[in-house]
């Protein structure tokens, strides 16, 4: 299978998978438990989730390693097993993807604020990300994805760590980087106050190959966010909206956007030239299937 950047350069639009958290929750993950602990205890569940997304038509499936940084794992006493946790995540996704899909290694925020706002030393955070990234790369991920970032300084450290792990591996491992924005009266900002212009410039400067946004408040906002990224960057864009804002029903998060609604809005993303479309919180393999149908019928997807 041609690698990710070659496919993007050839003009193909790719479909990424959807949510991971709600999928593991539906398979019995207790509230408050460590999602990444399942990589060690129930890897077959992760393989099943990835397989469902591959069968729904995803070109890219993620590893269950969003909280796989040592700082995040420390909360559950799993920090010493960081390498094992991340390798198991990549191995499970790989087994499901086989030659049918590419695997991207997910890496979310470390959960600590950097100095001087918080008490986290930048070098320590960067070294932590490097441990995670090396483990994902060692197990053969096709790309690394720094996601759901709100602090540009932290995103930069994670991207630098990803680049370093990729360089050590001696093979091309593209780095994807996305931030999460909220709509305000003055435009879109992350909760740490980063606007899209700063994100587009900063993520590119840090060394990301593909930039964009994930999570947030649904597809309509994401179309505006994508447009602003497109105006400010010529890098390929990755866009993964939530299925709307969750509301609580009987203690469970319910998401408003149906697969059809999301795919209908995603047409606008294709018009904007977004390179990779996928989903975040609340999206399911049915959302992926709807995005796959859209991309394939637009003629932008892989031939055949
Ligand atoms: Zn999300």
Which fold would CATH assign to domain 4-298? Answer: TIM Barrel (3.20.20)
For the CA atoms of 215, 221, 223, 227, the dihedral, rounded to the nearest 10 degrees, stands at -100
CA 164 – ligand 1 centroid, Å: 27
- In the three-class reduction of DSSP (H, G, I as helix; E, B as strand; rest coil), residue 143 is classed as strand
Tens digit of pLDDT at every position of the chain (304 positions): 679 999 999 999 999 999 998 899 889 898 899 999 999 999 999 999 999 999 999 999 999 999 999 999 999 999 999 999 999 999 999 999 999 999 999 999 999 999 999 999 999 999 999 999 999 999 999 999 999 999 999 999 999 999 999 999 999 999 999 999 999 999 999 999 999 999 999 999 999 999 999 999 999 999 999 999 999 999 999 999 999 988 888 888 889 899 999 999 999 999 999 999 999 999 999 999 999 999 999 988 875 4
168 alpha carbon to ligand 1 midpoint, in Å?
30
**How far apart are the CA of 178 and the centre of ligand 1, in A?**
11
Q: Which residues of 81-92 are buried (b: 16+ CB within 10 A; e: fewer)?
A: bbbebbbbbbbb
Nearest to 222 by CA among 236, 239, 198: 239
Tell me the DSSP string of 75-101: TTT-GGGHHHHHHHHHHHHHHHHTTTS
Alpha-carbon distance of 62 to 123, in angstroms, equals 26
From the CA of 170, how far away is ligand 1's center (Å)? 32
Q: Which residues surround ligand 1, an ion (CB under 5 A)?
A: 215, 242, 280-281
Backbone angles phi, psi at 162, to 5 degrees: -60, -45
Q: How far is the CA of 16 from the centre of ligand 1 (A)?
A: 13
* Helices of type H across the chain: 4-9, 21-26, 38-41, 43-55, 70-74, 82-97, 122-138, 152-169, 196-206, 219-232, 259-271, 285-298
**CB 229 within 8 Å of CB 237:** yes
pLDDT at 1: 66
For residue 108, how far is its CA from the centre of ligand 1 (angstroms)? Answer: 11
In the chain, what are the domain boundaries? Answer: 4-298
Residue 246 pLDDT? 84
pLDDT at 304: 44
Distance, CA 304 to ligand 1 centroid (Å)?
31
Please tell me the predicted confidence (pLDDT) of residue 118.
95
**Residue 226 structure tokens:** 């994508």
- How many angstroms separate the alpha carbon of residue 296 from the centre of ligand 1? 25
What is the Å distance from ligand 1's center to 284 Cα? Answer: 12
Angle at 273 between CA 272 and CA 278, to 5 degrees: 95
- At residue 45, what are phi and psi to the nearest 5 degrees? -65, -40
User: Which two tokens mark 148?
Assistant: 């759901």
Q: What is the pTM of this model?
A: 0.96
Rounded to the nearest whole angstrom, what is the distance from the C-alpha of residue 229 to the centroid of ligand 1?
Answer: 19
Give the three-state DSSP class for 187: strand
Q: φ and ψ at 105, to 5 degrees? A: -85, 115
90 and 124 Cβ atoms separated by less than 8 Å: no
């Amino acid at each position: 299978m041609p690698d990710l950047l070659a496919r993007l350069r050839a003009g193909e639009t790719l479909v990424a998978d959807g949510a991971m958290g709600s999928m593991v929750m539906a398979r019995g993950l207790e509230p408050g438990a460590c999602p990444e602990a399942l990589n060690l205890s129930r890897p077959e569940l992760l393989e099943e989730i990835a397989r469902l997304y591959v069968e729904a038509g995803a070109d890219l499936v993620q590893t269950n390693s969003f909280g796989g940084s040592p700082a995040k794992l420390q909360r559950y006493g799993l920090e010493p097993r960081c390498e094992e946790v991340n390798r198991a995540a990549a191995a499970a996704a790989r087994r499901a993807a086989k030659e049918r899909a590419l695997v991207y290694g997910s890496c979310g925020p470390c959960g600590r604020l950097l100095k001087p706002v918080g008490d986290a030393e930048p070098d320590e955070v960067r070294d932590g990300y490097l441990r995670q990234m090396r483990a994902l790369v060692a197990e053969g991920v096709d790309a690394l994805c720094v996601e759901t970032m709100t602090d540009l300084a932290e995103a930069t450290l994670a991207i630098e760590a990803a680049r370093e792990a990729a360089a050590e591996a001696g093979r091309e491992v593209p780095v994807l980087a996305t931030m999460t924005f909220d709509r305000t009266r003055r435009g879109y900002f992350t909760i740490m106050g980063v606007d899209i212009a700063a994100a587009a410039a900063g993520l590119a400067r840090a060394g990301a190959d593909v930039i964009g946004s994930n999570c947030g408040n649904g597809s309509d906002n994401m179309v505006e966010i994508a447009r602003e990224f497109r105006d400010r960057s010529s890098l390929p864009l990755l866009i993964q909206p939530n299925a709307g804002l969750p509301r609580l029903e009987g203690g469970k998060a319910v998401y408003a956007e149906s697969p059809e609604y999301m795919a209908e809005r995603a047409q606008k993303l294709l018009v904007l030239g977004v390179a990779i479309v996928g989903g975040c919180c609340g999206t399911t393999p049915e959302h992926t299937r709807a995005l796959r149908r859209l991309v394939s019928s637009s003629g932008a997807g892989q031939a055949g």
